Amino acid sequence: MRKFTFGGGIHPLSDMHEGKAETRGREVIAFAPDQVVIPMDMHLGAPSVPTVAKGDTVLLGQVIATPTGARGIPVHASVSGTVSDVGMRQLVGRAPSMCVVIDNDHRDEWVKLTPLGTVETAPADQIIPAIQQAGICGLGGACFPTHAKMTIPEGKVVDTLIINGAECETFLTADFRLMLETPDRVVQGTRLAMRGMNVPRAIIAIEDNKPEAIDTMREAIKGQSGIELAVMKTKYPQGGEKYLISSLLKREVPSGGLPLDAHVVVLNVGTAAVISDAILDGKPLTTRIVTVTGAVKTPSNLRVRIGTSIQDAVAFCGGYTEPPARIFFGGSMSGIAVPDDTMPITKANNGVVALTEKQAVLYEESPCIRCGRCVRACPARLNPFQLKAVLDVNDDLVEAERLHIAECCVCGACSYVCPARRTLSSTIKAARDVIAARRMAR
């Protein structure tokens, strides 16, 4: 069997304990907390503006915030109940976010739902607007509004849709379980996305450490013309858009460009599944699957309501095995450390990983020994030790730009392989973010 791959990267199976064994056999369980805290800025782009006030009664799926700007999407109530607060809250590593807090009445009374049609009958020109109205953004972690990604600008041509089922991050099995348990939803969403964009070909890409998902999806696409399945070698960060495109199609996304520039749109398998929910059932995005693992009593895959707190999700999994030293949203390679477990799970969060004191040990960095491992591991073909040197010594952002720092995808592979424990990816990320913020302000 042909297996696709890319240059650089690391091998989680041989290089490290990938942390997936604890949850890969765990079926997805639905969980609804007593209260949800729903941020208005879960997607990339301008935040949405609340349309509800404290004391309002809301139905499940009701619009509670309307979009602003071209990439905006509405936000929907993920439970039915009463709005108990609308206000600013400090969330993960950003300025405070406007949030709507809803006390759950546990009745799950849905707002009136209006399906667009079947996979064959849904009007093609209404599919992308319906995706926007459903509040869908990329569930793989980036949270780019899906309707904006699928809108092909004048003069651009897209010939291939890639459905990303690589799930290369450590610890996470949410996409794996989704493909095993609801493969038809993934295929239906793929077909709808193909029709909405008028793209003739789709490739569902899965790493070879998920043979059950490969078999299940292969069966599900039988008779679906234009949809193929590609098996990828297990390698981190295979799920990065650029590396998928390079592996599967041998095309390069130009520096500073988008997959569109390589005639490709990439959607996560989870995004494909919620597209089918939106079009076939009229349901907006109110839940997502999240892997809850690490120092928890019963590591699990949960379908949580958007806005569920980490502590409620962990309590549903039996609580912590011991007080966690650190908690991440996402896996251990590119995840984001959270300040505490009151943080709400948003549309972007595919994993909650709690680490014990022993697991979360921080190493002292020592001088670079010029071994070159970070260079060989970097999928973006950067020179991480050189970038770190110019940033550490002179904080030289101009030189860092010249060294193509903007190409860093913050995968963390360089830090992972460094024998000197150099804080490469965090230093590079911090500088890259400063440069990006300055550009935005210009």
Is 428 an interacting residue with respect to ligand SF4 (CB under 6 A)?
yes
Q: Cβ closer to ligand SF4: 217 or 414? A: 414
Question: Residue 254 Cβ, how far from ligand SF4 at the closest point, in Å?
Answer: 16
- How far apart are alpha carbons 153 and 149 in whole angstroms? 10
Is 427 an interacting residue with respect to ligand SF4 (CB under 6 A)?
no
Question: Residue 363 Cβ, how far from ligand SF4 at the closest point, in Å?
Answer: 12
Of the residues 78, 312, 384, 427, which one makes contact with ligand SF4 according to CB under 6 A: 384
Nearest Cα residue to 151 out of 265, 60, 42, 73: 265
Two structure tokens written together for 158: 């897209």
Residue where the block lists tokens 């699928």: 150
Residue where the block lists tokens 């590396």: 243
Two structure tokens written together for 53: 């006030």
Of the residues 197, 221, 380, 400, which one makes contact with ligand SF4 according to CB under 6 A: 380
Of the residues 420, 423, 434, 435, which one makes contact with ligand SF4 according to CB under 6 A: 420
Stretch of 122-130, 287-295, 354-362, 403-411 lying at the interface with ligand SF4 (CB under 6 A): 403-411
Phi, psi (deg, nearest 5) at residue 259: -50, -35
Contact 100, 49 (CB under 8 A): no
Question: Residue 380 Cβ, how far from ligand SF4 at the closest point, in Å?
Answer: 4
The pattern of x and - marking residues 339 through 368 that bind ligand SF4 according to CB under 6 A reads: -----------------------------x
Contact 319, 297 (CB under 8 A): yes
The pattern of x and - marking residues 127 through 166 that bind ligand SF4 according to CB under 6 A reads: ----------------------------------------
Of the residues 391, 409, 427, 431, which one makes contact with ligand SF4 according to CB under 6 A: 409
- How far apart are alpha carbons 95 and 92 in whole angstroms? 9
Question: Residue 430 Cβ, how far from ligand SF4 at the closest point, in Å?
Answer: 12
Q: Counting runs of H as helices and runs of E as strands, what totals does the chain give? A: 14, 18
Of the residues 16, 44, 406, 410, which one makes contact with ligand SF4 according to CB under 6 A: 410
Q: Cβ closer to ligand SF4: 317 or 380? A: 380
Please report, for residues 78, 150, 158, 199, 242, the alpha-carbon distance to residue 153 in angstroms, rounded to integers and kept in the order given.
Answer: 32, 9, 10, 14, 20
Q: 50-69: buried (b, 16+ CB within 10 Å) or exposed (e) per residue?
A: bebeeebebbbbbbbbebee
What is the CA angle 282-46-75, rounded to 5?
30
Two structure tokens written together for 81: 């109940």
Stretch of 184-192, 267-275, 351-359, 406-414 lying at the interface with ligand SF4 (CB under 6 A): 406-414
Of the residues 73, 75, 292, 413, which one makes contact with ligand SF4 according to CB under 6 A: 413
Contact 150, 197 (CB under 8 A): yes
Question: Residue 6 Cβ, how far from ligand SF4 at the closest point, in Å?
Answer: 12
Is 424 an interacting residue with respect to ligand SF4 (CB under 6 A)?
yes
Q: Cβ closer to ligand SF4: 80 or 425? A: 425
Stretch of 71-79, 246-254, 393-401, 416-424 lying at the interface with ligand SF4 (CB under 6 A): 416-424
Contact 185, 277 (CB under 8 A): yes
- How far apart are alpha carbons 39 and 258 in whole angstroms? 27
Helix (H) / strand (E) containing 3: strand 3-4
Question: Residue 405 Cβ, how far from ligand SF4 at the closest point, in Å?
Answer: 8
Question: Residue 208 Cβ, how far from ligand SF4 at the closest point, in Å?
Answer: 22
Stretch of 37-45, 86-94, 377-385, 395-403 lying at the interface with ligand SF4 (CB under 6 A): 377-385
Question: Residue 53 Cβ, how far from ligand SF4 at the closest point, in Å?
Answer: 43
Helix (H) / strand (E) containing 65: strand 63-66
Is 385 an interacting residue with respect to ligand SF4 (CB under 6 A)?
yes
Q: CA 7 from chain center: how many Å?
A: 23
Q: Cβ closer to ligand SF4: 23 or 334? A: 334
Beta bridge partners of 29: 302
For 279, residues 6+ apart whose C-beta sits below 8 A from its C-beta are 115, 116, 117, 119, 122, 127, 130, 131, 189, 192
Q: Cβ closer to ligand SF4: 303 or 404? A: 404
Instruction: List contacts with ligand SF4 (CB under 6 A).
Output: 368-374, 377-380, 382, 384-385, 408-414, 417-420, 422, 424-425, 428
